[in-house]
Amino acid sequence: MPAAFQPNWLPLVLGSMPHTDLGVAWRLMLKCFPQIPAWPQLPRKTSLENMYAQFSERFPGITLADGRIYVDRRKDLDPALERLYLAYLENNLAYGQISPSHAAGLASLIEGKVALPQPIVALKGQVTGPVSWGLTIVDQDQRPILYDEVLADAVSKHLRLKAAWQEAELRKLCPRTILFVDEPYMASFGSAFVSLGKEQVIGWIEEVFSGLSGLKGVHCCGNTDWSILLNTSADILSLDAYDYAETLSLYPEDVTRFLARGGIIAWGIVPAGASAESETVGALVDRLHEAINHLAGKGVPLDALLKAGMISPSCGLGSLTPVIAERVFELTVGVSAEMRHRYTVSSVAEPPRAAVG
């Protein structure tokens, strides 16, 4: 068993990249993130690597046609639902296999075509979360399948098998894994456009988490009710700290409890967009300290915040140009290095009691 995970302000990446050449993507990944590499998602390489199509294989009634992905409710879905539930009950992870056509980066890793640096701290994977997947995938009448009681239950079980199969494959290559559940649609929670209950959301995410034995992360790249994600069993909370760090300070008690149980915050302080071109490591470090101090000012223990941080881009990079994406990677690595220099394991043993900066 690996030793207890120490975040140590290590850099972490979300996975989505704009490159179309798999070799180029892997070389960049391993150069920038040798401690915790993630397999590259390449949505511009093929539409099957879109974060929704990528995890759609074998879902009952799933149809990909004319650039659309939807569930055709006019079909008899019972046989497919039975197969899904049988695989779930038997914990048949092979049902959750992701084909090379849908995830070339993952396949190349599993097939031994990628030489991982040694040693590595962890190996990271990712799956689209049940809320985002279930709200994006619609039926033939454009109704999100998450509002169909039968299909909503199937979504979380389907993604549980996808996540569990992926983790099992990654564990063959590294004893410590990090599996992220990406939930961009949580930014719409509580709006007039998303009618979901808090307990429903936690239940669906926990269903996916229940298939995992390694470190579990959850990511949202917008503002949301952070108390929901903080009260799941996630080990790592990943947020867009460049634009939304202050919203986390609205939940100081939840953050404090999350940190007290060993939770880690992956600060997405590097903007995943064109503004990265004009940013500097120094300015982003200052911006991060402002966010940390803001939380500390609300009563969240400063020493806990300094011991439980990682650095990441604010969001996936699949929609950017390769040049900007590489700049985002460069800044992420630079901010991580500066934070590691200031707050190593030895230096946070007696953390500062005043504002940091």
Give the 3-state secondary structure of the chain. CCCCCCCCCCECCCCECCCCCHHHHHHHHHHHCCCCCECCECCCCCHHHCCCHHHCCCCCCEEEECCEEEECCCCCCHHHHHHHHHHHHCCCHHHHCCCCCCCHHHHHHHCCCCCCCCCCCCEEEEEECHHHHHHHCEECCCCEHHHCHHHHHHHHHHHHHHHHHHHHHHHCCCCCEEEEEECHHHHHCCCCCCCCCHHHHHHHHHHHHCCCCCEEEEEECCCCCHHHHHCCCCCEEEECHHHHHHHHCCCHHHHHHHHHCCCEEEEEEECCCHHHHHCCHHHHHHHHHHHHHHHHHCCCCHHHHHHCEEEEECCCCCCCCHHHHHHHHHHHHHHHHHHHHHCCCCCCCCCCCCCCC
Residue 356 is predicted with a pLDDT of: 58
Average pLDDT, integer, range 156-184: 98
Residue 192 is predicted with a pLDDT of: 62
Does the pLDDT of residue 353 top 50, yes or no?
A: no
The share of the chain scoring above pLDDT 70, in percent, equals 95
Average pLDDT, integer, range 270-294: 97
In order of their start, the domains of the chain are 22-342 (3.20.20.210)
Mean pLDDT, the chain, rounded, equals 94
- Ranges 67-76, 180-189, 193-202, 346-355: which has the least confidence: 346-355
The share of the chain scoring above pLDDT 90, in percent, equals 90
Residue 351 is predicted with a pLDDT of: 38
Residue 196 is predicted with a pLDDT of: 84
Residue 135 is predicted with a pLDDT of: 95
- Ranges 84-88, 131-135, 350-354: which has the least confidence: 350-354
Residue 67 is predicted with a pLDDT of: 80
Label residue 189 by pLDDT band (50, 70, 90).
confident
Q: Distance between CA 64 and CA 66 in Å, rounded?
A: 7
Label residue 357 by pLDDT band (50, 70, 90).
low
Tens of pLDDT, residue by residue over 208-264, are 999 999 999 999 999 999 999 999 999 999 999 999 999 999 999 999 999 999 999
Only one residue has tokens 């590499």, namely 37
The residue among 178 and 68 whose pLDDT is bigger is 178
Average pLDDT, integer, range 50-70: 94
Tens of pLDDT, residue by residue over 11-31, are 999 999 999 999 999 999 999
Determine the Cα angle at 177 with ends 216 and 48, to 5°.
Answer: 80
Average pLDDT, integer, range 141-159: 95
